[in-house]
Structure 1
Amino acid sequence: MASISFLLKEPNATKVTPIFAFLSFDGQRAKVYTGLSILPKQWLKADQRAQVRGYPDNGTLNDALELAEKQLLTCYQNQRAQGMLPSVEVLRAAIVPALPVPKPAPALSFWQHVGEWESQKRAAGLLNTARTYATAIRHLREFAQTTGYAVDFDTITPTFGDKFTTYLVEKVRLTDNTVSKVLARVKRFMKWAAERGLHTNTRYTQLRWALREPDVMTLTAAEVAHLAALSLPAGGYLDNARGLFLLSCYTGLRYSDLVSIQPQHLHGTTLRLVMQKTRDVVTVPLRAEAVVLVGQLLSGELRPVANAVLNRYLKELGQRAELASPVEVVRYRAGKRESETLPKWQRLTCHTGRRTFATLALEQGLRPELVMKITGHKSWASFKRYVNITADVVSREFHKVYGGGA
């Protein structure tokens, strides 16, 4: 009885390598060159076949391997029927491909796979996510160009992490919070690549950087009411920016979700839609003011603008509304605390609306789990970054329960 196994000539090579057939029979073993070759990272050792997922052309290669196995076994059986054992030359001559086997597709480079990763998010409509990926990729490319470090699947290790984070802090001057996010995106890419069989490196999981979340800034209920009552030219760009911002304050929706609202999402005084970032379905009850603004958005009276443009308008709006109470901005860089004090309007962005909603909802007595259900947060750890319960509110609520106070 004969058995056949297929092995690579150079299983650890980074270029195309030949595939050999090993025929075991009657206490002997013959090594036969099949005339086929493959990139080692596309080879499934346990199956002794080429990986088809992600490499559809390898289906033809697997067919050729199946044919070679049949031809070798048939040759052995015919030789034994004649009372002989087949020689290597006879076995080699028995392998005749029925069809030309395409040359293995050239391996995509690390950077090409990185581009593919980003493009998939864009194709899925996750433009904001794709932009954050593009930023991380830019930092990675510039690091490789500046330092000469050969960034590849196998070189993303803790040593790489030390060099990369030093570069991000000292050269790019990123805060600890941003460095942590960049590393997280690199790890996300490496996991994506591993799931597609592009590498077997597991040391990338050891990349670490201390995350120090910045202080959360929100508006008070009085400030939101003041913005809503501010006299502005009807239909102007600031009036439009105010409407979009207030709708975020009233619903807790991210800007990307807010501007994607369609008539089919509105059910009476409730919105039900799929969040752009997470693809989770959320149900958002609408207060009276929000119902009006949603109607204006659907009618075209409220006009979506680019996120960066809206942020610029909001700072102008906040300045006009005299939202000038001092806010300390604290950042950490390489573990060192940096702070500056700014008027509140300078820190006003469209995301402030989502954070304001979460904070004011809790202050008004809505249970945390209900607020999280509306905002789409799945854990308290991620939700708490949106909450800014002030010392005044803590004192007021404490004395409401226990008495005392002014």
Structure 2
Amino acid sequence: MAKIRFLLVEPSAEKPTPLFTFLSFAGRRIKVYSGHSIHPKQWDAGEQKALTRGYPRNGALNDWLKVLTERIETCRDKHVAAGTVPSAEELRMLAIPEEATPAAAEPELATPAGPNLLTVFSEWIEGRSLTQSPNTLRTYRTSLRHLRDLQKLEGYAVDFATVGNGFAERFARYLLTKRNLVDSAVHKNLFRLKHFLNWALDNGYPIIADPKKFSWQHREPDILTLTRQEVQRLVDLDLSARPALDNARALFLVGVYTGLRFSDVAALRPEHIQADRLRVTTQKTRLTVTVPVRAEARPLLARVTEGTLRPLANQKLNGHLKELARLAEIDAPTERVRYAGGQRRATTAPKYEFVTTHTARRTFVTLALEAGVRPEVVMRITGHKSLSAFRRYVNVTEDTMLDEFSRAFA
């Protein structure tokens, strides 16, 4: 039998990386994670052990690797003799110390050895920096921060051995009661945790929960869009004496005329602009979309080419947009409805109070459909892959409903 050898996932990494080994069965190589990570500089690949000189805490890791090696060899020998292949669940269980199993301790009191879930989650987020936009990474870091705060405030050890099927409800309750989040935000945080747990499950980490159970029933909040007349009032504002607001308006209107997300508007470069279209690889999804250029957008895109359209931080731009909408008298009393724990929360304020950068993209979708552009064409421009996701961007206003009804039955 071949000797068990442990390998590093990223041998040249500048941060701790997981240890794993391979088992061979009937021509297949199955990866088995050790449940631990270590900095490559602290690992002696030849001796197959962690360095302890200067790192006294690594002695416990070496002890664990000996135990795990024995477990792996026993598992391998058993299946080789039977001519079978171990299941993924059986291999994952090898990396769970006996004292951390549910039979030996209550989940809330368990303090298992091995990789810490929050540490692995953090490393996973950073590892996605090459494929995900900064905004997406920021949302995952927010979810990680919520988990750390839950652990600190409630004294609950958030780890692989304690995040069971009931944890989804506990996390949701914490977000609703301690963070005062609405249902849609709770849903998004659980989705991010579910995404990570699925990855961890696929990579041999000791997951005891079923990631499918990490969901939260929610209703999408009402969306906000501007009417064609309200957009025109923004266009007609004289901002010659207020260049900062003029720049903010231009950024917003590019979104209204193209349907691009704010992150993509901020990243526009001259090479994206062609005679009659934009070709942009989106920051969030990495999809390449083609956007027809409307006449109204040309002067604004010229400012991109000239280098006179300045990107702003999202929060800063949102503040400017509320001021712009107030100046344009977009102030009709508007009710925004959100749901928290299934309870309806309604807020009424002047419409300008609710305008944000995302209003531009939703306005583009709604106005394009009102103008008669087919939904599948609009979806091709915005990069939406599913009709259910696309529908969340469509706002059928009362005025639009009355106008269309009158035309249909005049």
Alignment map for 1:310-325 (pairs within 5 Å): 310-325=317-332
Q: Is the 8 A contact 2:368 2:378 kept in 1?
A: yes
Q: TM-score, normalised by structure 2?
A: 0.74
> 2:300 matched to which residue of 1?
293
Aligned mate of 2:338, from 320, 331, 335: 331
Q: CA deviation at 1:59?
A: 7.9
Find the aligned partners of 1:185 and 1:122 in 2 and give their Cα distance: 15
2:161 to 135, 154, 162: 154
In 2: Cα distance, 1:381 partner to 1:228 partner: 32
Q: State the match for 2:224 in structure 1.
A: 217
Alignment map for 1:3-402 (pairs within 5 Å)? 4=1, 42=21, 44=23, 46=25, 108-124=115-131, 126-233=133-240, 236-402=243-409
Alpha-carbon distance in structure 2 between the residues aligned to 1:302 and 1:6: 62
Classify 1:272/1:402 alpha carbon distance in 2 versus 1 (closer, same or farther; 3 Å): same
- Indicate the structure (1 or 2) with the bigger Cα radius of gyration: 1
Identity among equivalent positions (%) equals: 43
Partner of 2:61: none
Q: Which amino acid letter does the alignment assign opposite residue 185 of structure 2?
A: T
Secondary structure of the residue aligned to 1:154 is coil
> Contact conserved, 2:218 with 2:339, CA < 8 A, in 1?
no
Deviations 1:319-377 (A, max 9, x none): 11111011101111111111110111000111100000000000011111111110110
| Cα distance between partner residues in 2 of 1:290 and 1:107 | 55
Q: 2:59 — aligned with what?
A: none
Counterpart CA distance in 2 for 1:40 and 1:234 is 61
Provide the rounded CA distance (Å) in 1 between the counterparts of 2:279 and 2:367. Answer: 22
User: Is 1:50–1:59's contact at 8 Å kept on the other side of the alignment?
Assistant: no
AA paired with 2:204?
G
CA distance in 2 between counterparts of 1:244 and 1:50 reads 48
Separation of aligned partners in 2, 1:400 and 1:191: 50
Question: Offset at 1:208?
Answer: 2.3
TM-score normalised by the chain length of structure 1: 0.74
Indicate how the Cα distance of structure 1 residues 42 and 174 shifts in structure 2: closer, same or farther if over 3 A, else same. Answer: farther
Q: Number of matched residues?
A: 330
Structure 1 counterpart of 2:312, one-letter code: V
Would the alpha carbon gap of residues 45 and 204 (structure 1) be closer, same or farther in structure 2, given more than 3 Å must change? farther
Displacement of 1:6 after TM fit? 6.9
Residues 1:43 and 1:141: Cα distance change in structure 2 (over 3 Å): farther
Is 45-54 or 230-239 further displaced after alignment?
Answer: 45-54
Partner of 1:93: none
Q: Contact between 2:132 and 2:284, CA under 8 Å: does it hold in 1?
A: no
Structure 2 unaligned residues grouped into runs of 5+: 7-17, 49-68, 74-112
8 Å Cα contact 2:256-2:360 kept in structure 1? yes
